[in-house]
Structure 1
Amino acid sequence: MNASKPHRYLLDNARTEAGERFTWISELFDGVTLGHAGRLGVREGARCWEVGAGGPGIPEALATAVGPTGHVLATDIDTSWLAEDAGYEVLRHDVATDPPPGTFDVVHARLVLVHVPDRARALETMVAALRPGGFLLVEDADTELQPLACLDETGSAQRRANRLRRAVRELMARRGTDLRFGRTLPNALRAAGLADVAASAFFPVGGAACARLESATVRMLRADLLEAGPADDGEIDAHLAAVDAGELDLTLAPLISAWGRRPA
């Protein structure tokens, strides 16, 4: 990904809170992802490519599913959160600029393409890596479908949470994130030549994982929020205190999962 400021990934893996975010994203979404992956061919002996892996959760689960006769490749432009000896291969790779690193039965990317400036090129690379009959599974959020942090805006704490969520969305848009990308996935997969395209959505509301992810994200972006000007230290501190006290039923944008098969 281009390292210039307009396209720098806002939720950078190098930031100290990235590990926390990986933990809670896994808690929220791994069950959904692995359910789809199992239906699409992740089984004993399969070859899988985890694109933009970030943390170790999905690569480890895929490695367990494919067993010793299978192979899992986990790639990212920053592989510092991936373990070299956990049953899967690790490779530094930019899906938007580098060629496919092999051929696979299942290719998966979650919360990756929405942040990549050249999404079309990245999608072409993933499709090119599919074996005939193989499946591509892409999962991305659509924050314009559901832009709120608190659906039930009943008081000042909920209104403050929604103001901060709007500020985060604006920061993401300035860095090149397509806030509507999730809804485009089925059409994008068909345009890429895939067959049997379908999609579903998952929409978590409330619970400890949503709260912990919110806390880690706001702490990670604190300096960016202060620089952009929509919030001051006091407002951010008050929001984090409300999150930690369990006063908010926090939610996320829907995660849209779309899949398609490369014709045999």
Structure 2
Amino acid sequence: MDARGYAFDNASDQATAHHDALADLLDEPTRAALTGLGELTGRRCLEVAAGAGSIALWLAGRAAEVVATDIAPQHIPARPRLVVRREDIVTDQPPGTFDLVHARLVLGHLPRREEALRRMVAALRPGGALLIGEFAHPPVDFVADAPDTATADLLIRYLAAHVATLTARGLDPGWAQRAPAVFADAGLTEVRSGTTAGRWRGGGPGCRLLRAGIPQLRAALLTHGLTDVDLTATTAALDDPRVVVNGFPFVQVSGRAPDHPGPA
């Protein structure tokens, strides 16, 4: 991925906290969406940008074979029926063909996201399914509850800096809403979209995810109007159970390759 790609480094000392928060926050709706795409027994699956591998491991307990790829796959443990590969979906065509391809919080960060998506589509067997998951635009009314006005104002300023930082790195918050049309343009059928949304309490998975990002994004956050004092206070606020924010909507989009592809 190029310098304007994914902002969170698997080599960071925050990587474990980041991956754990993502799993706690998103694995349940992800597993539900994957289950809804059909029987996994006997299937060959691809997990793109697998991170710490929580979904790849879950798939490996059900499918015939799972290939988990990442540009830095060191956090993915070895398991039976799980093959781990160091690959970049921006430049590398996935190995072979698959009954199921899944990618979570990847394409929205990539300037060449549609090219990467078409690589995934090309890796589908006839009738195979593609599922992606992305955060959509953050809610306008981000802070639902806070112990005082100063904390609420700080969290609003933090969110603005967070979004500006990721957007400068190539994130497109509108990608989740556009993805269904891109799926259809890529030749997929049965295109569906569903959204999971809810409130995140301080100390819970969503706020832990934001907190884990602060050290990784610190230098850029400071250029967007925050100070080190602000970041220390934001970290504390995200741990405070009195804080409740309206979480980022999580949009999952699925589509299926035709059973009988047309002529190339």
The TM-score normalised by the length of structure 2 is: 0.91
- The aligned counterpart of 2:112 is 118
Q: 1:42 to 1:126 in 2, by over 3 A?
A: farther
Determine if contact 2:5/2:171 at 8 Å carries over to the other structure.
no
2:149 alignment partner, one of 146, 155, 159: 155
How far apart, CA to CA, are the structure 2 residues paired with 1:151 and 1:187?
33
How far apart, CA to CA, are the structure 2 residues paired with 1:104 and 1:41?
14
How far apart, CA to CA, are the structure 2 residues paired with 1:147 and 1:87?
43
How far apart, CA to CA, are the structure 2 residues paired with 1:244 and 1:98?
39
**1:134 maps to 2:128:** yes
- The aligned counterpart of 2:262 is none
**1:218 maps to 2:214:** yes
How far apart, CA to CA, are the structure 1 residues paired with 2:120 and 2:216?
30
Q: Secondary structure in 2 aligned to 1:221?
A: helix
**1:254 maps to 2:231:** no
Q: 1:14 to 1:42 in 2, by over 3 A?
A: farther
Q: Secondary structure in 1 aligned to 2:245?
A: coil
Determine if contact 1:210/1:250 at 8 Å carries over to the other structure.
no
Q: Secondary structure in 2 aligned to 1:206?
A: strand
How far apart, CA to CA, are the structure 2 residues paired with 1:195 and 1:224?
40
Shift of 1:220: 2.6
1:165 alignment partner, one of 133, 137, 159: 159
Shift of 1:198: 0.8
Q: Which residues of structure 2 form unaligned runs of 5+?
A: 260-264
How far apart, CA to CA, are the structure 2 residues paired with 1:148 and 1:91?
41
The one-character-per-residue Cα deviations of 1:227-260 (angstroms, maximum 9, x if unpaired) are: x141111111112222223231034321110101
How far apart, CA to CA, are the structure 1 residues paired with 2:47 and 2:158?
32
- The aligned counterpart of 1:263 is 258
Q: Secondary structure in 1 aligned to 2:178?
A: helix
Determine if contact 2:5/2:109 at 8 Å carries over to the other structure.
no
The TM-score normalised by the length of structure 1 is: 0.91
- The aligned counterpart of 2:12 is 15
Q: Percent identity?
A: 35
How far apart, CA to CA, are the structure 2 residues paired with 1:23 and 1:212?
9
- The aligned counterpart of 1:245 is 240
2:60 alignment partner, one of 63, 66, 77: 63
1:260 is aligned with what amino acid? G
2:58 is aligned with what amino acid? A
1:142 is aligned with what amino acid? A
How far apart, CA to CA, are the structure 2 residues paired with 1:251 and 1:80?
33
**1:94 maps to 2:93:** no
For these two proteins, the number of residue pairs brought into alignment is: 256
Determine if contact 2:145/2:245 at 8 Å carries over to the other structure.
no
Q: 1:225 to 1:187 in 2, by over 3 A?
A: same
Moved more, 148-157 or 188-197: 148-157
Q: Secondary structure in 2 aligned to 1:183?
A: helix
Q: 1:32 to 1:229 in 2, by over 3 A?
A: closer
Q: Which residues of structure 1 form unaligned runs of 5+?
A: none
Shift of 1:149: 4.1
2:226 is aligned with what amino acid? A
Shift of 1:200: 0.3
